[in-house]
Amino acid sequence: MNFASDNTAGAHPAIMAAIAKANDGRVMPYGNDEGTGHAKDLLSHVFEKEAHVFFVPTGTAANGLALSALVPGYGAVVCHETAHINEHEGSGPALFTGGAKLLGLPGDDGKIDPTDVARTIAHGRGDPHYAPVFAASITQLTERGTAYRPDHIAAIAEACREDGVRLHMDGARFANALVGLNCSAADMTWKAGVDVVSFGATKNGALALEAVVIFDADLARDFHYRQKRAGMVLSKMRLMTAQMAAYLADDLWLENARRANAMARRLADGLAVIDGIDVTQAVDGNEVFPLIPAATVARLTDAGVAFYDRGQAPDGRHRVRLVSAFCTTAQDVDRFLEIAGNG
Amino acid sequence: MNFASDNTAGAHPAIMAAIAKANDGRVMPYGNDEGTGHAKDLLSHVFEKEAHVFFVPTGTAANGLALSALVPGYGAVVCHETAHINEHEGSGPALFTGGAKLLGLPGDDGKIDPTDVARTIAHGRGDPHYAPVFAASITQLTERGTAYRPDHIAAIAEACREDGVRLHMDGARFANALVGLNCSAADMTWKAGVDVVSFGATKNGALALEAVVIFDADLARDFHYRQKRAGMVLSKMRLMTAQMAAYLADDLWLENARRANAMARRLADGLAVIDGIDVTQAVDGNEVFPLIPAATVARLTDAGVAFYDRGQAPDGRHRVRLVSAFCTTAQDVDRFLEIAGNG
Amino acid sequence: MNFASDNTAGAHPAIMAAIAKANDGRVMPYGNDEGTGHAKDLLSHVFEKEAHVFFVPTGTAANGLALSALVPGYGAVVCHETAHINEHEGSGPALFTGGAKLLGLPGDDGKIDPTDVARTIAHGRGDPHYAPVFAASITQLTERGTAYRPDHIAAIAEACREDGVRLHMDGARFANALVGLNCSAADMTWKAGVDVVSFGATKNGALALEAVVIFDADLARDFHYRQKRAGMVLSKMRLMTAQMAAYLADDLWLENARRANAMARRLADGLAVIDGIDVTQAVDGNEVFPLIPAATVARLTDAGVAFYDRGQAPDGRHRVRLVSAFCTTAQDVDRFLEIAGNG
Amino acid sequence: MNFASDNTAGAHPAIMAAIAKANDGRVMPYGNDEGTGHAKDLLSHVFEKEAHVFFVPTGTAANGLALSALVPGYGAVVCHETAHINEHEGSGPALFTGGAKLLGLPGDDGKIDPTDVARTIAHGRGDPHYAPVFAASITQLTERGTAYRPDHIAAIAEACREDGVRLHMDGARFANALVGLNCSAADMTWKAGVDVVSFGATKNGALALEAVVIFDADLARDFHYRQKRAGMVLSKMRLMTAQMAAYLADDLWLENARRANAMARRLADGLAVIDGIDVTQAVDGNEVFPLIPAATVARLTDAGVAFYDRGQAPDGRHRVRLVSAFCTTAQDVDRFLEIAGNG
């Protein structure tokens, strides 16, 4: 039983089948083939807008390249202090942007506040002692498992607009947020003012696939140079495009996310009624953040359940992260609850 | 019929089957699983030496990361002026190294000469107006389809050694060179003084797989930080390790290379007897570089044969590059020769 | 009357005279002259240890280059959240280091705590999702005008040592801290575990001069390449070395710092007895941080007094920074106090 | 007697006097003072066009920062293979640009040919395997002591324009070229299509002063961030502005260059009539490149004459570079000729 991460799952069978099928025959490399164009079109369709799309194998690559199109090396990026780009990608964003500074803000529920964003943009603006903010970056789902609502996103975009600051969304769990919010991909992105999305698929049933989705042709113009230079253009691009076509076909991506989210919901609901356990965050997607007594943690670990234990809270309980995946079953959840509740 | 590149082929069926098989079940991400350790061990076995191994999806990534472990941003790399790192990776090596300078040398058959290497290393050494050489990089096969013999490699390594200069091999077509030379992987690398190898598999039957193979633990120590920062650590690492295990199993990699090389040999031999066509380079692997009359080029193109035409030579004939792959058949070759010879 | 910064002063007359004198005659460029060797020796003498010395014209250059010798692009630097490198050099440190991450810690009096340093170093160490800490950097004087005592520095060095983390001191106001602490340059640096010092002179009577002082030959070996590459090797190096020789001659540097510190002391003492004004920090050097009523701020500004007003505190008073220089006079201070007290 | 370089001279007395004079009194730092505005205006006057001006202490800094405003890290710069940026600044340009590739072209007299520039720009353009050219850079004087005529510059600019490629001039010896060509600064730069100039003063009588002169407001907009980040904004900016004001006052800069050029002319004329010596390049400024017999080289060296000996030509004579400065006297030249001719 594995609640450590959604990336401990393999690919969805339909995606694996698509890769195998795409493997046949000779195809021009580096994306100069029909399949690539087709896969890109599918994303434009999803976003209800012509999008400029680039496929990369990891989220760190997607985020770093996306930011590099928005921010020069002498600039800065506003994000939540817990953002993946700030806390879990080493100094990757600096590599891709040529040294841009990340300005991590505190904020409830893993979200940044539009007022804080505006103040950070204004701070020292124009004075070269301060790296000027060129972009804000939000994570959807956040690192606390919560989802930004479109109006919240729009308010951040509004705080950015006056100074020409661009808005990036790290959508590593884009689909989970989307079905949680029950809105359209357009509502959650460009209609709310997002300029560039790291559209994650790996955590939601793909094998190794993220797409950088750019809504502004100017930002996209030189992106292929950045991508190639970073070693991020696969020669056998069909590996990527086959995944994406299958991911989007028949709403597989939404279906996968709905399943994962439902399992997280089931898990959270079950935990809520166990004595001594508290779920600390809204469950907007497929992540649950409970406080769990040490004895229960030990019991789960002994039973071979995998999850991340982020250490003790002041009250002695453990801060635990539980992540469901498209392939998590109700039996998995119920068994987890049984062990957890059986104190 | 496709002689444009070996990367227009899909993956070998055995490799595709291995990916599908590895897809089952939950596995810890980022290479923290048993399969990764196993795949790395296989490469140590191939090289007859404990190697430090890192899997990445592209050759540009392998080369850039490999060089970044050898050369600081204020340093320089000696290579052939036609080297892939110098001519076909944009400014990728500079991204990964933080700005190291590439010093491209001329040289027959796409190879650098040890004397030239020594002179370049010595030029201005110690004077900060000159970026000091920290590494030499050789391409195996070269961009002219030729292979460095182990004694040539050893002579370059010898030219490097006195000044502590390291030797990198861009082995995008490692297997093709190896079977062409009929020597061991050890002979062609560390026994000849190579410190780091970009061990290519994609062009020889894998789907998206290169390995950076480091023979010196000191050079490898911080490599995982570099790789992660560059967005080059796949979360579902099993995609990579399954490919490598299948690639090396039962000498599939050598078998694939032997087939591709044999087809290039058949092609070169056939071209040599066609009036008006000359093969300009030794065929040490799976690449053939003929001069072909314009009318013949047109006839081939009209017949739907794909290949790279690099423009006219002074005598009016076209410089053509023909590359065979593991799946190229004798029928493909014979059909090509038939069209070419039927002037 | 100018309390805005010590860098609003010109150079001390003795230093200006030395520059003029050094201007005569032909001298080999780029530091390949006798004067440069002599000036470097003087610093070794000051530090009572053979030091490797490099002259640059700005503090940002000194800090950036110093850090680049300690930290690779994939690494991190621990510092106080208010450190000049973190708040007032744009993304300069990332330029010089190739993207290293700055980890800003809170801490009383502008100082970082050894326990916090140790915890930050340990956090995620070895996991490539986290940039590994390679250096800690402390500012002397801190951005709050306080000085680290040698035992505090030693405790930070101790927290660093086990993991091979290096210690950098941004000594933009090195002399002011030194005379405030009444210890030796050796006590305040290498004897306490400091590896590299940005030895500032500009703010204390030089015209444009900082020295990077490195105590470890290994760290210094390639520094001249870094310095040259960054455009920081003046061809007419005599401009730098003449300043340094005059700065250190007859303890001019200590004398300058004593005068500036005495004026800050006089200012702080005078402010302390003015109703409604509070000095919020220990005055360890030449900076005073009072809270001043808005009306008083206005009165000072109207009188043409220059200083930095950093906005309102919660109680409505203004956070003011006052900096004395080597040329600040008792009359300047007394006049300031007269205006401030005359409410 | 020193013909090694023009940078072995000190500053012109009038410039030194101006620095001393500017040293008095308190002045706002970082260029936020009246003097800086004045010095910038003087340059606009020189160029007969509103220019955006930034003062830095070295030529490597001026070139690196100038290129960084023109070329992103994924781009390339066309220059002569002997250009200072390509051969004598380590990997400095890559540091400032974030890794841009330098494409060094051969060309007579140290000059690049417009046709070669056009071909290099076109090569692989749009294909991300090739770093796209964003700028061409020419050196004035060239590294062979020759000067580009305005019509040559205009032809290069023309080759650049269609693809939006920008033109940079490394004017380390701007004044020497200008008086040699007997044209206006406008003719030699923006009227011929130059976008950005590194306007050198150090080699022509200043102490440490180069100006980046930008003719396009868009290119200049963020330059102060780049400059500050690179540690290139002196706090006591008066050091720079005083030099520039004095340099331009009463045409001192042109006068200095005329003297230096006249001495180079005298030297070249004298060498031309000495048996066994040949001057190999047109003397357009203050540099002379003779071939000198080994015995003569030894005689000069023994007499204490300083110059650069760049090794033996195929005929056994030595390739020598002789540079005159503003303070080189006719006696110096005549004495040199006497020793050289006295074989």
Helical segments of B125-251, H only: 150-161, 174-181, 185-188, 217-220, 223-229, 238-248
Contact A73 C88 (CB under 8 A): no
Contacts of A74 in chain D (CB under 8 A): 222, 225-226, 229
| Confidence bin at D342 (pLDDT 50/70/90) | confident
Which of B3, B236, B322 to substitute to test the interface with A, most A CBs within 10 Å?
A: B236
Chain mean pLDDT for chain A = 97
Residues contacting residue D228 through CB under 8 Å, at least 6 positions apart: A128, A129, C60, C89, C90, C92, D30
Contact C128 B224 (CB under 8 A): yes
pLDDT at position D343? 67
Contacts of C58 in chain D (CB under 8 A): 231-235
pLDDT at position B343? 66
Contacts of A222 in chain D (CB under 8 A): 72, 74, 132
Contact indicator for C238, C209 with CB cutoff of 8 Å = no
pLDDT at position A26? 92
Nearest-CB residue to A128 (from D75, D131, D233): D233
> Between β-strands D166-171 and D133-139, what pairing exists: parallel, antiparallel or unpaired?
parallel
pLDDT tens sequence across A187-224: 999 999 999 999 999 999 999 999 999 999 999 999 99
The DSSP secondary-structure symbol of A195 reads -
pLDDT tens sequence across C191-203: 999 999 999 999 9
CA torsion angle for A186, A188, A192, A195 (degrees, to 10)? -80
Residue B210 pairs in a beta bridge with B56, B200
Amino acid letter, A258:
R
Contact indicator for D166, D172 with CB cutoff of 8 Å = no
Chain mean pLDDT for chain D = 97
Contact indicator for B124, B100 with CB cutoff of 8 Å = no
Residue located via tokens 């690196």 = D64
Contacts of C72 in chain B (CB under 8 A): 222
Percent of chain B with pLDDT over 90: 98
Residue A44 and residue A51: Cα distance in Å, rounded? 5
Question: b or e along B1-20 (b: 16 or more beta carbons within 10 Å of the residue's beta carbon)?
Answer: bbbbbbbbbbbbeebbebbb
Contact D129 A226 (CB under 8 A): no
Closest CA to B287 of B328, B253, B255: B328
**DSSP states along A285-303:** SSEE-EEE-HHHHHHHHHT
Contact C74 A91 (CB under 8 A): yes
Residue A59: exposure state from Cβ atoms within 10 A (0-12, 13-18, ≥19): buried
Q: How far is D260 from chain C (nearest CA, A)?
A: 15
Closest CA to C170 of C67, C256, C297, C271: C67
Q: Which helix (H) or strand (E) holds A84?
A: helix A84-87
Contact B23 A7 (CB under 8 A): no
| Confidence bin at A342 (pLDDT 50/70/90) | confident
> Between β-strands C196-200 and C210-214, what pairing exists: parallel, antiparallel or unpaired?
antiparallel
Contact D98 B99 (CB under 8 A): yes
Closest CA to C309 of C299, D150, A322, C342: C299
Contacts of C94 in chain B (CB under 8 A): none
pLDDT tens sequence across B158-185: 999 989 999 999 999 999 999 999 999 9
Contacts of B64 in chain A (CB under 8 A): 231
Residue C84 and residue C7: Cα distance in Å, rounded? 15
CA torsion angle for D102, D104, D110, D114 (degrees, to 10)? -100
Contacts of B7 in chain A (CB under 8 A): 29, 235-236
Mean of pLDDT values over D46-67: 98
Question: Is the pLDDT score of A343 beyond 70?
Answer: no
Q: Which chain C residue lies closest to A85 (C-alpha atoms)?
A: C129
Mean of pLDDT values over C294-307: 96
Residue D62 and residue D71: Cα distance in Å, rounded? 14
* pTM for this prediction: 0.97
Mean of pLDDT values over A72-100: 98
Contact indicator for C99, C82 with CB cutoff of 8 Å = no
Number of H helices, E strands in chain A: 15, 12
Contact D230 C23 (CB under 8 A): no
Helical segments of D162-293, H only: 174-181, 185-188, 217-220, 223-229, 238-248, 252-272
| Confidence bin at C219 (pLDDT 50/70/90) | very high
Residue B83 and residue B62: Cα distance in Å, rounded? 14
Contact A61 B231 (CB under 8 A): yes
pLDDT tens sequence across D208-250: 999 999 999 999 999 999 999 999 999 999 999 999 999 999 9
Residue D261 and residue D323: Cα distance in Å, rounded? 9
All partners of chain C with 3 or more CB pairs under 8 angstroms: A, B, D
pLDDT at position B53? 98
pLDDT tens sequence across D252-265: 999 999 999 999 99
Nearest-CB residue to C73 (from A76, A91, A131): A91
Q: Which chain C residue lies closest to D325 (C-alpha atoms)?
A: C26
The DSSP secondary-structure symbol of C132 reads P
| Confidence bin at C343 (pLDDT 50/70/90) | low
Contacts of B100 in chain D (CB under 8 A): 91, 94
pLDDT at position C100? 98
Closest CA to A165 of A139, A127, A140, A132: A132
Contact A225 D75 (CB under 8 A): yes
Q: How far is D290 from chain C (nearest CA, A)?
A: 22
* CA-to-CA separations, A325 to A88, A172, A269, A290, B290, in angstroms, rounded: 20, 13, 17, 17, 54
Q: Is the dihedral of CA D119, D122, D123, D129 positive or negative?
A: positive
Does the ipTM surpass 0.85?
A: yes
pLDDT tens sequence across C35-88: 999 999 999 999 999 999 999 999 999 999 999 999 999 999 999 999 999 999
Question: Is the pLDDT score of B212 beyond 90?
Answer: yes
Q: Which domains does chain B have, with CATH numbers?
A: 11-251 (3.40.640.10), 256-341 (3.90.1150.10)
pLDDT tens sequence across D308-329: 999 999 999 999 999 999 999 9
